[in-house]
Amino acid sequence: MARVADAAAALGLSIELKVMDQSTRTAEDAARACGCEVGQIVKSLVFENAADGALVLLLVSGGHNVDLEFISDCYGLTLKRCDGRRVRDETGFAIGGLAPIGHLAPIPIYMDTTLLDYETVWAAAGRPDSVFSVDPNALAKAIDAEKIDVVPKL
């Protein structure tokens, strides 16, 4: 959590950190713990870019499942699943507590446009029981996230 707090301060990002009594490992768990809609939960998902092998972070609304074929067709970004150990080694966070800030090294970040529909979203803060709230527009700007749709619009 300290790395997340330090990263937020360095980015000039106003966040509220919370340690929860219950798990926030899944979007549903996190929404219950935070008292918010599932869509307000930021799922931080790491993939490998098939073109160059580099890691890519997708920040996805808790209400969505990523459509990798759609992302490939729309954005030319071919992604594949990434080994959890590699995620931990390169970001410094384990899956289930992966924060959108505070990584060990820079990583390209793409943000689900649906998250921008909310005034506040909740993201993992480095541990499976810790989260932080943040304005999604401020987060996107601070981390220079490219805004994309992760599923087709209906």
Reading the block at residue 149, the tokens are 């749709």
pLDDT band for 118, please (50, 70, 90 cuts): very high
**pLDDT for the residue 24:** 74
H or E, element range at 91: helix 84-91
| pTM of the full structure | 0.94
Name the residue range of residue 68's domain.
Answer: 1-148
Contact 22, 31 (CB under 8 A): no
Q: Judge whether 99 lies within some domain.
A: yes
**pLDDT for the residue 43:** 94
Q: Judge whether 6 lies within some domain.
A: yes
12 in helix, strand or coil?
coil
Torsions phi, psi for 136 (to 5 deg): -65, -30
Q: Judge whether 86 lies within some domain.
A: yes
| Residue pLDDT, tens place only, 80-110 | 999 999 999 999 999 888 999 999 999 999 9
Contact 118, 133 (CB under 8 A): no
**pLDDT for the residue 51:** 93
Instruction: State mean pLDDT over 115-144.
Output: 95
Instruction: State mean pLDDT over 4-14.
Output: 95
CA atoms of 4 and 122, how far apart (whole Å): 13
Please tell me the total count of domains within the chain.
1
